[in-house]
Amino acid sequence: MTGPGPVAEERAERIEVDGSTAVVTGAASGIGRAISGDLLARGATVVLADVESDALERTVGELAADHGADHVLGVRTDVTDETSVHDLAERTYTGFGSCDLLFLNAGVTSGGGGLPWQQEPNDWRWCFGVNVFGVAIGVSEFVPRMLAAGTPAQVVVTSSKDGGIAPVATASVYAASKAAITCFTEALQLNLRTADGDVGASVFYPSGGLIDSGLYTAARNRPDHLQRRGAGTGRSGWTFDQLVEQVTRARGTPPPIADLGQLARTAVDGASERRFVIGTELDQSAELLHRRADAIGRGELPPAHQLGI
Ligand SMILES: NC(=O)c1ccc[n+]([C@@H]2O[C@H](COP(=O)([O-])OP(=O)(O)OC[C@H]3O[C@@H](n4cnc5c(N)ncnc54)[C@H](O)[C@@H]3O)[C@@H](O)[C@H]2O)c1
């Protein structure tokens, strides 16, 4: 039986990071690794989940050396596979008894780049498998346990302004996946507000400049059965350096590069403060959304998101 749940004022205003247990998917590299390091520095115990075994082992070893092995656990996890995510949840609850902060952060590009009609079904399957089903499975495995625990807990979904706010024209599949999880996270929070328990959801928009992470080599984790089949359809994605070059040419000046440590602090602060939208330069996103709404109101194509501009 689910009742109407605690009224808003009975819900905790914040979640203390110190002493909490956090789970981070896509934690072996980039943003997830930075979030894990920030959580550990603030006194959390962190379960790092990632599909890339070697990178995960390396990251766990380095973070354990810095913060103590008792507070770091690595669990090789494929977020597209419900058995694997079920095992992650079991190991988290068996080992530490709770999950107070859940960062559903694992993500990939579609690998296809290029024009929407050059995307292959396998580009969609891989990208939506990780970015959309990965979030859906994480929510299905963890949220019922988090609600049942009755303690304050927060789920943070890493979306992207590319798709979550407006598409970058050359990233159609990726943008569509991020639009999907932004919408899903909003629906999740609408329902959590009235559910029994004290779980909240947040959507995180990494920003602060171009982000030098492993996203540009995401294909390193693309499974064999989801490889592109056709030759010469679309192009492979940009490397980070190519992207910087491209954006510099469009802007006439080099773009800012995001500070991963600052990005992680923003994510963890936002989770702890239980903000629904976590990010920086949100005023710029709002301005773009106003222009998009006006265009839609006129029945016209809304303006797109421009990377690094
Ligand atoms: N880099 C950017 O510019 C940017 C901007 C906005 C949003 N994001 C989002 O941030 C998140 C983190 O990306 P990043 O930029 O740190 O890239 P990254 O490649 O450095 O990190 C992503 C991690 O996800 C892992 N992963 C991939 N497939 C997985 C699977 N099936 N199961 C479990 N783990 C898997 C990878 O091994 C990797 O460690 C992603 O959701 C990405 O879409 C990135």
Give tens-digit pLDDT for 9-27. Answer: 589 999 999 999 999 999 9
Name the catalytic one among 93, 174, 205, 216: 174
CB 255 within 8 A of CB 245: no
CA dist., res. 132 & res. 126, Å (int): 10
Residue nearest to atom 25 of ligand 1 (CA): 26
Class of domain 14-238+256-281: alpha beta
107 lines ligand 1 (CB under 6 A): yes
Give tens-digit pLDDT for 228-268. Answer: 987 644 455 678 898 899 889 988 999 999 999 999 999 99
- Tell me how far the alpha carbon of residue 204 lies from the centroid of ligand 1, in angstroms: 13
Give tens-digit pLDDT for 271-289. Answer: 999 999 999 999 999 999 9
36 lines ligand 1 (CB under 6 A): no
Is 230 exposed, middle or buried, given 0-12, 13-18 or 19+ CB atoms closer than 10 A? exposed
Closest CA to 177 of 107, 238, 246: 107
Domain ranges of the chain: 14-238+256-281
Q: Which residues of 274-296 are buried (b: 16+ CB within 10 A; e: fewer)?
A: bbebbbbeeeebeebeeebeeee
pLDDT confidence of residue 98 = 98
For residue 174, indicate whether it is catalytic.
Answer: yes
